[in-house]
Amino acid sequence: MLKTLFSIGLWALLGWLCGTWLGPNTGWGLFAFGLTAMILVSGLQLSRISKWVKNIDAPPPPSVGPWDEVLAPIYRKLRKNRQDIDLLNKNVNGIMLAAEALPDGAITLNAAMQLTWCNQTASEHIGLNLETDRGHSIFNILRAPEFARYARQRTWPSPVLLHVQNDDRAISLLVQLTPYSLDQFLIVTRDVTQVEKLETTRQDFIANVSHELRTPLTVLSGFLETLHDMPAGSLSPEQESRYLELMLEQAHLMQAIVADLLTLSTLESSPAASGTTVNMADLICTALTQGRVLSGGQHVFIENINQDLCITGMESELASAVSNLLTNAIRYTPKDGIITVSWYLTENGNACYSVQDTGIGIASQDIPRLTERFYRVDRGRSRATGGTGLGLAITKHVAMHHNAELTIQSRYGAGSLFSIIFPASRTVSQ
Ligand code: ADP
């Protein structure tokens, strides 16, 4: 403003000086010329400013006279605001990325319980599509009646468990509703399918163990009660020894179950074995010696063993797997059956331990379940031969510990072939 007044004053002074020298008309003319020039310059500056306004992100034009003082603070403020907005955007983006990375699903709803936002995990849990479902009521999206009942409560102190069907997959979801801000709601979803499965497995396992131990325990206590209630000396020595034999049998069965359970739990809690070089031929020969005793000369054994092939692993685990497959073959093969035990290098460099028998075989529908704990095709036969129903579960774990694969081929009534195939990386040739 001062500058403008000073310029007008300067032109007025020049006009007056010129007027006293060349006459008043020339003086007024010069003054008018000065004012016109000032207006033109000012118009030019305004047009540069209006151009800048259209591209306000760029610095303001330089030398725009009195406008310099106005534009500089505006531009400074604009720049500061822009930096604040950038920072805010960065923070919001960070929060959104964190919300997307959450292992739990997150869904936000407005006061009318309509979907406003959800993360990727929630989309997967409930089968949501944010683009098409935004603005729709959550009751139309999540149609489980338990959820409707839960959402209509006044408070939500604990989550609700929902079983939903998503892409032909049944999943169990723990859903927690929480109010936030003013009439906004947050739904957190957690996939607990695996946890539920584990819990069921745990309960089944406890039930199975109790059941398995209860049978021999009932037999044992039955005999003990009979002996206790009988007057002394009323049993013949043969009867007494028969009773004791049967009791011992049951006690051994319980011992075997507990020992197998401990082996399984050790296998499950220990990491995969790297181990040392194990001479498998020696292990197999030891198992065969014990197997022949168990067979009592009732079976024909064929051996096909590569004496130079060793593997790296845990000797005690491998010994148990080797003997499990062999004793099964003996127990499930009738008299005069043939049992072929092989240990060899396959064409692709893997090492294979296999036990083939001409025994009772297994129906195809039972094969996938054989490695489940306590699964037996014929409960009676397994018990009668001292089986615990845990042998193949242990063998499968041993195989897994050695990055090996347990394969089962069998035909009902024709015999079975059980193999453990160790990867080439574990083989050692002597
Ligand atoms: P078990 O102690 O009952 O033998 P396993 O886990 O070793 O337990 O085996 C599970 C079931 O698999 C057995 O009960 C039996 O029905 C079946 N099975 C295992 N090996 C053989 C085999 N060589 N021939 C036929 N059936 C077998």
Sign of the Cα pseudo-torsion (235, 237, 243, 248, in order): positive
What is the model's pLDDT at position 258?
93
Residues contacting residue 297 through CB under 8 Å, at least 6 positions apart: none
Q: What's the chain's Rg over C-alpha atoms?
A: 44
Q: Any idea what the Cα angle at residue 265 is, between residues 262 and 270, rounded to 5°?
A: 125
Would you list the DSSP string of 36-59? HHHHHHHHHHHHHHHHHHHTTTSP
Q: How far is ligand 1, taken at its centre, from the CA of residue 328, in Å? A: 6
135, 158, 191: which is the final residue of a domain? 191
Residues forming a β-bridge with 178: 186
pLDDT band for 3, please (50, 70, 90 cuts): confident
pTM given for the model: 0.66
Residues lining ligand 1, Cβ inside 6 A: 324, 328-329, 332, 357, 359-362, 370, 375-378, 382, 387-393, 416
Residues 174 and 146 grouped into a single domain: yes
Residues 76 and 110 grouped into a single domain: no
d(CA 200, CA 203): 5
Distances in whole angstroms, Cα of residue 206 to Cα of each of 202, 213, 427 = 6, 11, 38
Q: Would you say residue 91 lies in a domain?
A: no
d(CA 108, CA 113): 9
What is the model's pLDDT at position 344?
96
pLDDT band for 273, please (50, 70, 90 cuts): low
Q: Would you say residue 93 lies in a domain?
A: no
Residues 179 and 230 grouped into a single domain: no
For the ranges 189-193, 291-295, 305-309, 378-382, which has the lowest average pLDDT? Answer: 378-382
The closest of 66, 11, 10, 7 to 33, measured between CA atoms, is 11
The per-residue pLDDT for range 64-89, each reduced to its tens digit, is 777 777 888 888 898 999 999 999 99
pLDDT at 232 over 90: no
Q: Would you say residue 271 lies in a domain?
A: no
Q: Would you say residue 89 lies in a domain?
A: no
Residues 296 and 363 grouped into a single domain: yes
Whichever domain contains 247, its CATH number is: 1.10.287.130
Q: How far is ligand 1, taken at its centre, from the CA of residue 275, in Å? A: 28
Our count of domains for the chain comes to 4
The per-residue pLDDT for range 22-70, each reduced to its tens digit, is 888 889 999 999 999 989 988 888 888 888 888 888 888 887 777 777 8
Residues 151 and 137 grouped into a single domain: yes
Whichever domain contains 401, its CATH number is: 3.30.565.10
Q: Would you say residue 385 lies in a domain?
A: yes
Residues 77 and 111 grouped into a single domain: no
Q: Would you say residue 178 lies in a domain?
A: yes
| The two structure tokens encoding residue 352 | 């294979």
Q: How far is ligand 1, taken at its centre, from the CA of residue 372, in Å? A: 11
d(CA 185, CA 400): 46
The per-residue pLDDT for range 126-152, each reduced to its tens digit, is 888 889 999 999 999 988 899 999 999
- For residue 155, count CB atoms less than 10 angstroms from its CB and return exposed for 0-12, middle for 13-18, buried for 19 or more: exposed
- Boundaries of domain holding 28: 2-81
Q: How far is ligand 1, taken at its centre, from the CA of residue 377, in Å? A: 7
Q: Would you say residue 410 lies in a domain?
A: yes
